[in-house]
Structure 1
Amino acid sequence: MSLRRSRRTLPGFSLTLGITLGYLGVIVLLPLAALLWWAAGLSAAEFVAAVASPRALATYQVTLTSALQAVAFNGVAGLLFAWVLARYEFPGRRLLDAVMDIPFALPTAVAGVALSAALSATGWFGPLLAAMGWTVVNAQAGIAVAMAFTSLPFVVRTVQPVLEDLDADAEEAAGLLGAGRWQVFRHVIAPVVAPAVLAGMTLAFARCLGEFGAIIFIAGNRPMKTEITSLLIYIRLEEYNYPAATAIAVVILLSALGVMLLANAIQAWQHRYLEKEGV
């Protein structure tokens, strides 16, 4: 028996795959390959001197510490926002859902200026924060705030579809069997949602590593204290020190790739778990 290919309106697999790979190669892989090729021209001593200088190490510490703080906050806040949007109907829900995407659409420079204006000593919340002994603008805390602002949607938009697709029958059955609300959340909801939360947090972490515009307006950019790695790369480029800028950029690139691989692994784990549970 011969198999006949069904005709489709849209182009076939070969054409669409070729266009996709071509676009990916030109737009994404070619610039990354050029970066790695340029870095390969450095000797081991030059590479280590660029990426392990005291100033570079200080930027790694500031960037990673701020990113971890932002991601920890977004893990909780993102889950709460996603829970409200997925589980409740209330006036203004559509508006709140749209507001979640503002950090995606808003230029990061505008976000940095807005945060600085709101949290500075003369801003809306600056005097209140100062009265409590908190300094945000021109401090490391401001970096974490800017990172949290720009990366929050990654957690919300990753968790929200999972909560919306979650079957309510299992929750109702657990409640009928005598389980309390905390027990239902812990044993029924959390195992399904946890992989999505972790995936969203890893995506947010990768976003935080590369954040630039929103941070430079609020951090103060003091070397060894509030200077992030992305800014140091920019400074090295302004100094025409392209080898050092390339070496530091490779460190950020490899870190981001590692985080993205972790996010993909978590999402694959989530998919297998949901298939196993029949969700």
Structure 2
Amino acid sequence: MTIQDAATPPPPSKVSRFSGTVGPLGVGVAVLWLSIIVLLPLAALTATSFENGLSGFWDAVTAPGAVAALRITAIVSAIVALINVVFGTLVAWVLVRDEFPGKRFVNAIIDLPFALPTIVASIVLLSLYGPESPINVHLNATQPGLVVALAFVTLPFVVRSVQPVLIELEKDVEEAAASLGASNLTIFWKVVLPVLAPAIFGGAGLAFARAIGEFGSIILIGGNIRGETQVASQYIQQQLEMDRPVNAAAVSVVLLIIAFITLLVLRVLAQRSIRREETAA
């Protein structure tokens, strides 16, 4: 063996090793915890939904009541996501770029839907927009009422997704565009919006995923009218009350699939955005 051979380090082992600070014990605990909290319940739910076989699952999710509830849920949730795109971005812009009295208070109440029990929100909305509305606006048992309730519980998603991006956004490019004669609308559309787009889309996707499974905030103001205001979560509750757990589990699995696909698309788009930024840098 030569001196050069002795100084050459051995080739890396092909055996996979754990990297980081927690080691295999920490990874094992994390996997175990996620399995108990997430994977096992999801596996049990999926198994229940297929108790009557694939045909039974298909019959459950294609029943007229299930189709109507899923359709209403998807439409209302999409509308709520679009509303969040517009007003969530506007609120984030105001909180970052403007100064006004009570700004800290407004910034604090953005997270209120995360802390407030959703059934409380439903009670408040019913008292405000119900049959005895003090402002003479009656949204009880209507799809606009569903939109208002879901917009309340999903408010923080776009706002909190856009705010950090706006804070880190350099104003030099905006000032350069303004010095060249670009209008405020042109600056926002051509300069600011492309940077904010991934955050806006991500927040809207999270709002949509939250809205399709919401129950508490719409339980009172929604009315639970089949084919009109009954959303998927209420249909699931109805099937459980009628002692049809397989049907309830089947519709729940459909909601899980929709939410998973939404989050997966967001993940892929976020990774692509990061790669584009790294390439541009």
TM-score (norm 2): 0.88
Q: Which residue of 2 aligns with 1:132?
A: none
- 1:140 equivalent in structure 2: 143
Q: How does 1:9-88 map to 2 (within 5 A)?
A: 11-88=21-98
- The question of 1:203 aligning with 2:213 is answered no
Q: CA deviation at 1:74?
A: 1.0
Deviation of the 1:151 alpha carbon: 0.6
Tell whether 2:181 aligns with 1:178: yes
Name 2:267's counterpart in structure 1: 264
Deviates most, 268-277 or 92-101: 268-277
Matched, 1:149 2:152: yes
Bigger Rg, structure 1 or 2: 2
Match of residue 197, structure 2, among 179, 194, 200: 194
Please tell me the root mean square deviation across aligned C-alpha atoms, in Å. Answer: 1.9
1:89 corresponds to which residue? 99
1-structure distance, mates of 2:147, 2:90? 19
Q: Post-superposition shift, 1:91? A: 2.0
Change (3 A) 1:159 1:273: farther
Counterparts of 1:89 and 1:268, CA distance in 2: 34
CA contact (8 A) 1:198 1:266 kept: no
Secondary structure class of the residue paired with 2:33? helix
Residues 24-46 of structure 1, C-alpha deviations (whole Å, 9 max, x = no match):
11111111111112223322321
List alignment gaps of at least 5 residues for structure 2. Answer: 1-6, 10-19
Show CA shifts across 1:212-240 (max 9, x none).
01101101111222111111111111222
Count of residue pairs brought into register by the alignment: 265
In structure 1, the gaps of 5 or more residues are 3-9, 130-134
Matched-pair contact (CA < 8 Å) for 2:50–2:250: no
1:219 corresponds to: 222
- 1:60 touches 1:229 (CA, 8 Å); kept in 2? yes
1:141 CA displacement: 1.2
Residues 1:165 and 1:25: Cα distance change in structure 2 (over 3 Å): same
1:110–1:214 Cα contact (<8 Å) kept: yes
Map of 2:3 onto structure 1: none
> CA offsets, 1:129-157, max 9 Å, x none?
3xxxxx41111111111111101111111
Report the more deviating stretch, 174-183 or 89-98: 174-183
Separation in 1, partners of 2:186, 2:146? 37
Q: Counterparts of 1:224 and 1:176 in 2: how far apart (Å)? A: 55
Contact in 1 for aligned 2:50/2:246 (Cα 8 Å): no
CA contact (8 A) 1:154 1:201 kept: yes
Amino acid corresponding to residue 206 of structure 2 in structure 1? L
Kept in 2, the 8 Å contact 1:154–1:204? The answer is yes
Maintained 8 Å contact 1:35/1:250: yes
Alpha-carbon contact 2:89-2:200 (below 8 Å) kept: yes
Question: Is the 8 Å Cα contact of residues 192 and 270 (structure 1) preserved in structure 2?
Answer: no
Rounded to whole Å, the distance in 2 between the matches of 1:15 and 1:87 is: 46
Given that 1:155 and 1:197 are in contact with CA atoms closer than 8 Å, whether structure 2 keeps it comes out as yes
Identical columns (%): 40
Give, in whole Å, the separation in 2 of the partners of 1:176 and 1:190. Answer: 19
What displacement does 1:123 show?
2.1
Where does residue 160 of structure 1 map in the other structure? 163
Secondary structure, aligned partner of 2:65: helix
The match for 2:13 is: none
Instruction: Check whether the contact 2:50–2:56 (CA below 8 A) recurs between aligned residues.
Output: no
